[in-house]
Each structure stands twice: as C-alpha cells, then as structure tokens.
C-alpha cells in the first residue's frame, strides 16, 4: 500500500485531465473558490455536508491547563475550535473495499 499524498495541484491536474473541455486555469480557479468557500463556512461556524463524501464541523475545546514538555511547567491553553471531518458512508465503503 502506498502512502502518497494528493495535494491541491495534483487534484487540479487530475480534474483537468478528466475534463479536457475545461482549461486548467478554470479548474484551478474552481478548486480555489471551493476551498475558500469551505474555509469561510467553517470560520463562520457553519457545518459543511457533502452527501456521499462526508461532513466538516467544528469541535470546540475548552480552555485547560497543559504542560510545557521541555520544562514541565504548567501552561494555560486557551479555548479553541478545531475542524473535524466525518466521512460519509459511501466514502467509508469505498475505502474499506479498496483495503481488501
């Protein structure tokens, strides 16, 4: 099993190859706009749901007392919101099927 990463430029290239009627700069703009809209939605506290793929939501973490691993001293860690992805059933099934 390989562990190669698919980055944004690879994604743009693959979409452009599968859609030769679309110029690569148009595909690049579409991917950038989609990512920007997803960032904007999550930043606003909205949930993103893409049927068959999955959903993105924010998990809120309470402030806590942490430790500096180097010194062992106590450190206050502020509250924060962390993006969380939950895969949809179709994605889970496809991944599990390819792992067999």
Report residue 61's pLDDT band, with 50, 70 and 90 as the boundaries: very high
The confidence score (pLDDT) of residue 2 equals 59
- Within 35-88, strands assigned E span 48-50, 54-61, 64-67, 74-77, 80-87
* CA 94 – CA 31 distance, rounded (Å): 23
| pLDDT 10s digits, 2-57 | 578 999 999 999 999 999 999 999 999 999 999 999 999 999 999 999 999 999 99
The confidence score (pLDDT) of residue 79 equals 96
Report residue 100's pLDDT band, with 50, 70 and 90 as the boundaries: confident
Q: Domain residue spans in the chain?
A: 6-45, 46-65+74-99
* Terminal Cα-to-Cα distance of the chain (whole angstroms): 11
Superfamily of domain 46-65+74-99: IHF-like DNA-binding proteins (4.10.520.10)
CATH architecture of 6-45: Irregular (4.10)
Residue for token pair 């430790």? 67
The confidence score (pLDDT) of residue 16 equals 95
The 10 Å Cβ neighbour count of residue 27 is 19
């Amino acid at each position: 099993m390989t562990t190669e990463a698919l980055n944004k430029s690879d994604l743009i290239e693959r979409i452009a190859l599968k859609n030769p009627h679309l110029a690569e700069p148009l595909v690049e703009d579409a991917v950038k706009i989609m990512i920007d809209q997803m960032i904007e939605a999550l930043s606003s506290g909205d949930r993103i749901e893409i049927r068959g793929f999955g959903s993105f939501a924010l998990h809120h973490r309470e402030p806590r007392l942490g430790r500096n691993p180097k010194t062992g001293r106590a450190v206050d860690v502020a509250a924060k919101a962390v993006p969380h992805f939950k895969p949809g059933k179709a994605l889970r099934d496809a991944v599990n099927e390819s792992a067999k």
